[in-house]
C-alpha cells in the first residue's frame, strides 16, 4: 500500500514539477458583499441559506452569449472551447440546460475574452444582478494555447453554477506559507494585490458553503499550485496538480444539487394545497395549465426558506418568467403572475429549511 501511495505522490510531484517553468494563471472571482442575518435567524438555518443561496432552481435553461465586437470579443476557436466546456457539464446528466443565443438581452450568462483582465465568473444566481451590457464571465488568456485550457472554461462555468473554489474548502487542512503565496501571486502573470490573493486563495470558505466534509484536491474547482507554497499536508509541499476535467466528487456534488428531472410534472390546480419536501435533491416541479387568462397567485405556506420560480414553456423550452426567494425573511415566497390560456407553465419549488412540520404550495 505504501509503495502505491509513494508512486502516486511521485507522479503528482513530477506533474507539478514538469510545469514549474510555466507560471500558473488563476481565476480571480469578483468579490461581493457577504450576506448577513438578523439575530432571529438560527445558525442551522443560516448554514442552509448559505449552501443554497447561489444555486439555481433545477431545470433552469441558462442562455449564454458571446460578446462579438470590441475588446470583449473572442476568436471562434476560443468560443469552441467554451461550448465544449458547457457540454462537459451537461454530459454528466445534470438537470440544468444550456443554450447559446445571439442576443445579449436573452442571456443570463454573458461571456467576454478581454485579455489581461483575468479569468473569472460571478457565483451562481449573483449573475442576475449584473447589468445586461456587462460581462458575467471573462477569459483573460488564450484558451487555445493548451488542450488543458478547457479546464479553465469548465472551472468558470462551475462558478456560474454556484460552486466555489475547492482549495478554499475549510476541510482541506491546507496550511499556507502565506507570505510566499502573496509574493508568488504578486509576480507576472497574475500581478495580484494582497486583497485579491487573500480572497481567492488564503481565505477559508464558510463551512456552510461547502457540500460534504471531504476535500477534493482533484476538483476542477481547485487551483494547481507549485512547490513551496503549502506547509501542510506534507504530501502537497511539492505542489498540487488536479487531474483535469470534472472529478468524481465534482460530478457527485453537481448531481446532488441538479439531478436529472423527472419526465413528468405533477399538475397544480387552483386552490389545492400540495405538501412539499425539504432537501438538496427534493425540488418539486409542477405543471400549470391556466383555465383563463388572468393574474394568478402562487405561495408557499409554513415557516420555511424556499425558492419559488415560474417558467413558461416556449417551443418546448422553459423560459424564466419570475421567481421569489424568501430565505432568512419572516415571510413566505409569493408570486403574482399573469398567465395566458392555451399556454403551459412550470412552477419549480425548492425548500431548503422548514420549521413547521408541514410546508405546502398553492395557486389561486
Confidence at residue 141, expressed as pLDDT on a 0 to 100 scale: 95
Residue 198 and residue 227 in one domain: yes
Domain of 282, CATH number, reads 2.60.120.1050
Confidence at residue 47, expressed as pLDDT on a 0 to 100 scale: 84
Give residue-wise pLDDT tens across range 46-61: 888 888 888 999 999 9
**Where a domain ends, among 257, 289, 305?**
257
Q: How many CB atoms lie within 10 A of CB 285?
A: 22
Mean pLDDT of the region 338-349: 97
**Where a domain ends, among 226, 257, 288?**
257
Residue 307 and residue 226 in one domain: no
Residue 246 and residue 314 in one domain: no
Integer angstrom CA distances of residue 60 from 74, 101, 270? 26, 15, 24
Which is more confidently placed, 193 or 46? 193
Alpha carbons 144 and 82: distance in angstroms, whole number: 10
Confidence at residue 8, expressed as pLDDT on a 0 to 100 scale: 36
Mean pLDDT of the region 305-316: 94
Residue 118 and residue 205 in one domain: yes
pTM: 0.89
Mean pLDDT, the chain, whole residue set: 90
> What is the count of structural domains for the chain?
2
Residue 245 has pLDDT above 90, yes or no: yes
Helix axes 150-160, 76-91, angle to 10 degrees: 60
Strand 345-354 to strand 304-314: parallel, antiparallel, or no bridges (unpaired)? antiparallel
Alpha carbons 220 and 199: distance in angstroms, whole number: 18
Q: How many CB atoms lie within 10 A of CB 64?
A: 21
* Residue with cell string 458553503: 209
Mean pLDDT of the region 110-139: 96
Structural domain boundaries enclosing 233:
2-257
Residue 218 and residue 316 in one domain: no
Would you state the cell numbers that stand for residue 162, as one nine-digit string?
454556484
Residue 243 and residue 298 in one domain: no
Confidence at residue 11, expressed as pLDDT on a 0 to 100 scale: 34
Residue 115 and residue 240 in one domain: yes
CA dihedral sign of residues 69, 75, 78, 82: positive
pLDDT confidence tier of residue 10, bands split at 50, 70 and 90: very low
Domain of 122, CATH number, reads 3.40.390.10
**Where a domain ends, among 231, 257, 283?**
257
Residue 258 has pLDDT above 60, yes or no: yes
Strand 360-363 to strand 294-301: parallel, antiparallel, or no bridges (unpaired)? antiparallel
Amino acid at each position: 500500500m505504501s509503495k502505491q501511495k509513494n508512486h502516486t505522490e511521485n507522479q503528482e510531484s513530477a506533474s507539478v514539477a514538469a510545469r514549474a517553468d510555466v507560471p500558473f494563471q488563476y481565476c480571480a472571482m469578483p468579490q461581493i458583499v457577504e450576506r448577513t442575518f438578523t439575530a432571529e435567524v438560527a445558525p442551522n438555518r443560516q448554514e442552509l441559506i448559505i449552501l443554497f443561496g447561489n444555486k439555481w432552481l433545477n431545470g433552469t435553461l441558462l442562455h449564454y452569449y458571446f460578446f462579438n465586437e470590441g475588446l470583449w470579443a473572442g476568436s471562434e476557436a476560443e468560443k469552441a472551447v467554451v461550448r465544449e466546456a458547457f457540454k462537459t457539464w451537461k454530459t454528466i446528466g445534470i438537470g440544468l440546460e444550456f443554450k447559446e443565443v445571439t442576443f445579449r438581452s436573452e442571456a443570463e450568462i454573458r461571456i467576454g475574452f478581454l485579455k489581461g483582465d483575468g479569468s473569472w465568473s460571478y457565483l451562481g444566481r449573483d449573475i442576475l444582478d449584473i447589468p445586461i451590457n456587462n460581462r458575467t464571465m471573462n477569459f483573460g488568456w488564450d484558451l487555445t494555447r493548451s488542450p488543458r485550457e478547457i479546464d479553465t472554461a469548465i472551472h468558470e462555468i462551475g462558478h456560474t453554477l454556484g460552486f466555489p473554489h475547492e482549495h478554499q474548502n475549510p476541510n482541506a487542512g491546507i496550511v499556507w506559507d502565506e507570505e510566499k503565496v502573496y509574493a508568488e501571486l504578486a509576480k507576472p502573470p497574475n500581478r495580484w494585490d494582497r486583497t485579491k490573493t487573500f480572497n481567492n486563495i488564503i481565505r477559508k470558505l464558510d463551512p456552510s458553503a461547502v457540500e460534504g466534509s471531504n476535500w477534493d484536491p482533484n476538483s476542477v474547482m481547485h487551483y494547481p499550485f507549485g512547490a513551496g507554497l503549502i506547509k501542510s499536508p506534507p504530501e502537497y509541499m511539492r505542489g498540487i496538480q488536479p487531474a483535469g476535467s470534472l472529478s468524481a466528487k465534482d460530478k457527485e456534488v453537481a448531481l446532488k444539487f441538479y439531478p436529472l428531472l423527472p419526465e413528468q410534472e405533477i399538475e397544480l390546480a387552483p386552490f389545492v394545497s400540495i405538501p412539499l419536501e425539504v432537501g438538496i435533491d427534493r425540488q418539486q416541479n409542477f405543471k400549470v395549465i391556466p383555465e383563463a387568462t388572468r393574474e394568478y397567485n402562487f405561495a408557499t405556506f409554513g415557516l420555511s426558506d424556499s425558492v419559488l420560480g415560474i417558467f413558461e414553456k416556449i417551443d418546448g423550452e422553459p423560459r424564466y418568467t419570475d421567481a421569489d426567494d424568501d430565505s432568512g425573511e419572516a415571510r413566505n415566497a409569493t408570486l403574482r403572475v399573469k398567465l395566458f390560456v392555451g399556454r403551459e407553465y412550470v412552477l419549480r419549488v425548492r425548500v431548503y429549511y422548514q420549521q413547521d412540520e408541514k410546508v405546502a404550495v398553492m395557486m389561486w
